[in-house]
């Protein structure tokens, strides 16, 4: 199926979703619905071994469309955005992100939620949401489990941007390669998994997740409730989002 904001391919066990919404792959509802549509189409596909997220344009993704947090769209945006992660989780097969340049906000959440991440040396990772008066729900759920509580607190509470090398040191990235080698290195990176049994990969990933004793759904439901029914009702969340769209500094009321 042809999409407007993504490109997809399935070949030899590898399902690829390429972000292609110029110039910086901002994830709007329409784009995320396309991603979800493809992930739904791959549910139960027995010969699917790996799902790869990569991107065209200037960067992997600058994040979720801030404007779609406003005017009552937040519940729909969260539903569609979190739908991606629920569908990725339901696939039960390895997911990989191939990242270059900016990988921020919702784009960063998409990348680090993947089981494996390969990045170019110039890639930058970060969750700057707090600087516009909100927080990243998926990062709040998964980052402490990937990198530990203190490192996750640092990134999410500060909103600072880190290099690919620092992200690798923190456990968010598996491998960092030269800028001009990312495409070929990604192909080499996923190749070993494509030689294996899809069903064995599923069962093995399921066992690893069971070993963590950490299901996505219960904690994500609580985080969603905090985001939609507490955070989005604060004056400062609305002010931060408006200030971003109006290209000015927010004036916090601390309420």
Active site residues: 109, 129
pTM of full prediction above 0.85: yes
Alpha-carbon gap, residue 43 to 88, rounded angstroms? 9
Alpha-carbon gap, residue 106 to 138, rounded angstroms? 8
Alpha helix positions (H), 5-148: 29-42, 74-91, 106-113, 137-147
- Residue 242 tokens read as 């408006």
CATH number given to 6-179: 3.90.226.10
pLDDT digits (tens, 9 = 90+) for 126-149: 999 999 999 999 999 999 999 999
pLDDT digits (tens, 9 = 90+) for 181-214: 999 999 999 999 999 889 989 988 888 887 777 6
Alpha-carbon gap, residue 94 to 38, rounded angstroms? 16
- pLDDT of 50 reads 98
Q: Where are the domains of the chain?
A: 6-179
- DSSP state, 64? B
């Amino acid at each position: 199926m042809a999409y407007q904001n993504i490109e997809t391919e399935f070949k030899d066990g590898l399902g690829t979703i390429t972000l292609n919404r110029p110039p910086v792959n901002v994830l709007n509802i329409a784009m995320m619905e396309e991603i979800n549509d493809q992930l739904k189409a791959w549910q139960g596909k027995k010969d699917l071994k790996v799902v790869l997220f990569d991107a065209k344009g200037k960067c992997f993704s600058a994040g979720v469309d801030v404007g779609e947090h406003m005017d009552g769209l937040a519940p729909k945006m969260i539903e569609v955005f979190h739908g991606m992660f629920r569908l990725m989780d339901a696939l039960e097969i390895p997911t990989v992100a191939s990242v270059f340049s900016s990988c921020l906000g919702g784009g960063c959440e998409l990348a680090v939620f993947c089981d494996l991440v390969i990045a170019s040396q110039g890639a930058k990772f970060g969750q700057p949401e707090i600087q516009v008066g909100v927080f990243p729900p998926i990062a709040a759920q998964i980052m402490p489990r990937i990198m530990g509580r203190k490192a996750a607190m640092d990134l999410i509470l500060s909103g600072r941007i880190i290099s690919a090398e620092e992200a690798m040191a923190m456990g968010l990235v598996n491998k960092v390669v030269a800028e001009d080698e990312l495409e070929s290195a990604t192909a080499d990176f996923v190749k070993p998994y494509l030689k294996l049994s899809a069903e064995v990969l599923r069962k093995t990933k399921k066992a690893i997740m069971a070993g963590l004793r950490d299901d996505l759904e219960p904690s994500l439901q609580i985080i969603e409730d905090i985001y939609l029914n507490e955070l989005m009702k604060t004056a400062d969340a609305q002010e931060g989002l408006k200030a971003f769209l109006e290209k000015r500094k927010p004036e916090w009321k601390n309420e």
